[in-house]
Amino acid sequence: MSGNGESNGREPRPVRRLLPAGAVILLAGFFLLPFFPENLWQVLFLRDYNTRLVVLSTALLGISSGLTGSFLLLRRRSLMGDALSHATLPGIAIAFWALVALGAGGKALPPLLAGAFLSGVAGIVAVLWIRKLPRIREDTALGIVLSVFYGAGVALLALVQELPGASAAGLESFIYGKTASMLMSDFLLLAGLAVVVLLVLVLLFKELQLLAFDEAFAASCGWPVRLLDLLLLTLVCVVTVAGLQAVGLILIIAFLVIPPAAARMWTGQLRGLLIAAGLIGGLCGWSGASLSALAPGLPAGALIVLTGAGVFIASAILGTERGLLLRVLRHSRLKRRIERQHLLRALYEARERPEGNGNGFPPSLKADTVGFADLLRMRSWTPPQLQRILRRAAKDGLLEWTENNRILPTALGEGEAQRVTRNHRLWECYLIEFAEVAPSQVDRDADSVEHVLGEKLTRELERRLPEYLQSGAPPVPRSPHPLRKQSV
């Protein structure tokens, strides 16, 4: 993944890659409008105060989660958010117990969130400490912290419910989320969080980029790697604590993982990943909360996660960078190109004189046309397969059929055949002379590489093999299989 965020001239910018998916969503929504409930426009235009508050709050949470989760994804620490979210539960229970002990009632939200944050920081410290132990990997540390802290939290919640004069009803909303109960203070908190996340990413973009891609190099350059790592994890902890009201500590991991994972399917650049992850996270929060408003019986947290899952599946199929459909198309295109190159080389070698013209630069051709049966013996083709390849080559203007049903390369096909054969034999010569591959095995090895030989690598082969080339157009060395050096 490139970190410069610039377009290379051949690929569209990352944001532009999301436009086809957005167009499909809008078109589908247009045709489905008759099936939507009557209060659709009221929800879409946020006319209701509570709906407006919930939708905007979850959208802001999605943006913040997508941005911070991108660095977790790049650092292969996606489960860190899961461990931190579960690590907040003991802090909530302890904060509730402290409030009851102080006579404050125990339901004040800021102290509960502060307790969750401190407990999450303790979970971060525990993960970093356990990871330093001999033969303990990071995934093991995450599993230990997740299970132990969550178990402690469940036990503490059971204990605080037995406190005299205290009502712990409603604390379970931090586990599963309770979006409908969000207030203006929650919206302001999430808005401030989004601003803080954007400021941190803008001010420390280069440092976090280096940390995400090459931690060892960053440490060798004198960057405070541990401090940056702790800052990033603290930012994740803050996002996790802020999202407890919206989706709960169990489902917050989906907000941290799904948007960056879906964004990776659309772009291969860091800035593009951050932009796309933020947009997808905001879209998931907005659409999930809106669906919950249209169907009040369904919880918003679950709908947000399911919406994110749908976006991820669509991105995995239609993504313009790593989408399944694109990979299938690329593989099919590469397969056709390789088949065409095999055909062109077979056409050249089937018409080549074995004795050459004395020095072999280029070998003379013993015939202008080739029969179908001659080509069929050149490679392990089946007759239907060869027929299909020939039809495609004829359609591309590389060959034509003569009156006696023989195959004649066109001028374009002849030039391509000489180029393909030349590259193949240059690579054969290099493998024999420098890699000491046996001449009887070199054809197989060269066959797997010749299709990716670019102009730069071809010039390098020409520089290293000057004794096999001479002036003239175009030089095609003879096959190196009979002898090793003198016959090349």
DSSP 8-state secondary structure symbol assigned to residue 167: -
Q: What is the mean pLDDT of the chain?
A: 76
Residue 346 tokens read as 């077979």
Q: Which of the four pLDDT bands, split at 50, 70 and 90, describes residue 16?
A: low
Q: Environment class of residue 134 by beta-carbon count within 10 Å: exposed (0-12), middle (13-18) or buried (19+)?
A: exposed
What CA–CA distance (Å, rounded) separates 365 from 355?
A: 10
Q: What is the pLDDT of residue 448?
A: 55
The answer to whether 452 and 427 have CB atoms below 8 angstroms apart is: no
Question: For the chain, what is the total number of helices (H) and then of strands (E)?
Answer: 21, 2
- CA distance readout (Å), 48 to 191, 286, 301: 19, 14, 19
Mean pLDDT, range 271-288, rounded to an integer: 88
Mean pLDDT, range 22-31, rounded to an integer: 54
The answer to whether 341 and 451 have CB atoms below 8 angstroms apart is: yes
Share of the chain above pLDDT 90, in %: 2
- CA distance readout (Å), 361 to 49, 96, 356, 410, 459: 82, 87, 8, 21, 17
Name the residue with higher pLDDT: 66 or 366.
66
At 419-472, the pLDDT tens digits run 888 777 777 777 776 666 666 555 555 555 555 566 666 666 666 665 555 544
Q: What is the pLDDT of residue 11?
A: 41
Domain boundaries, the chain: 17-322, 335-468
Mean pLDDT, range 22-40, rounded to an integer: 56
Q: Which of the four pLDDT bands, split at 50, 70 and 90, describes residue 19?
A: low
What CA–CA distance (Å, rounded) separates 24 from 317?
A: 13
- Flag whether pLDDT at 182 surpasses 80: no
Mean pLDDT, range 473-486, rounded to an integer: 50
Distance of CA 58 to the CA centre of its chain: 24
Q: What is the pLDDT of residue 208?
A: 85
- Flag whether pLDDT at 53 surpasses 50: yes
pTM above 0.75, yes or no: no
What CA–CA distance (Å, rounded) separates 51 from 423?
A: 65
Q: What is the pLDDT of residue 377?
A: 84
Choose among 254, 259, 228: nearest CA to 63: 259
Task: Report the b/e string of 273-297 with b at 16+ CB within 10 A.
Answer: bbbbbbbbbbbbbbbbbbbbbbeee
What CA–CA distance (Å, rounded) separates 273 from 15?
A: 9
What CA–CA distance (Å, rounded) separates 321 from 267?
A: 5
Lowest mean pLDDT among 42-46, 60-64, 104-108: 104-108
Mean pLDDT, range 339-348, rounded to an integer: 86
Q: What is the pLDDT of residue 450?
A: 55
Q: Which of the four pLDDT bands, split at 50, 70 and 90, describes residue 294?
A: confident
Class of domain 17-322: mainly alpha
Name the residue with higher pLDDT: 453 or 252.
252
Q: What is the pLDDT of residue 334?
A: 82
Q: What is the pLDDT of residue 465?
A: 62
- Flag whether pLDDT at 15 surpasses 80: no
- Flag whether pLDDT at 183 surpasses 70: yes
Choose among 44, 50, 43, 64: nearest CA to 189: 64
Q: What is the pLDDT of residue 8?
A: 43
The answer to whether 43 and 254 have CB atoms below 8 angstroms apart is: no
- Flag whether pLDDT at 276 surpasses 50: yes
Q: Is 294 helix (H, G, I), strand (E, B) or coil?
A: helix
Name the residue with higher pLDDT: 25 or 309.
309
What CA–CA distance (Å, rounded) separates 161 from 114?
A: 20
Name the residue with higher pLDDT: 392 or 164.
392
Mean pLDDT, range 395-422, rounded to an integer: 85
Residue 367 tokens read as 């015939």
At 219-250, the pLDDT tens digits run 888 888 888 888 888 888 888 887 777 677 77
CATH number of 335-468: 1.10.10.10
Q: Which of the four pLDDT bands, split at 50, 70 and 90, describes residue 62?
A: confident
Residue 370 tokens read as 């080739």
What CA–CA distance (Å, rounded) separates 422 from 4?
A: 37
Name the residue with higher pLDDT: 102 or 485.
102
Q: What is the pLDDT of residue 10?
A: 43
What CA–CA distance (Å, rounded) separates 240 from 250?
A: 10
- Flag whether pLDDT at 483 surpasses 50: no
- CB atoms under 10 Å from CB of 224, counted, come to 13
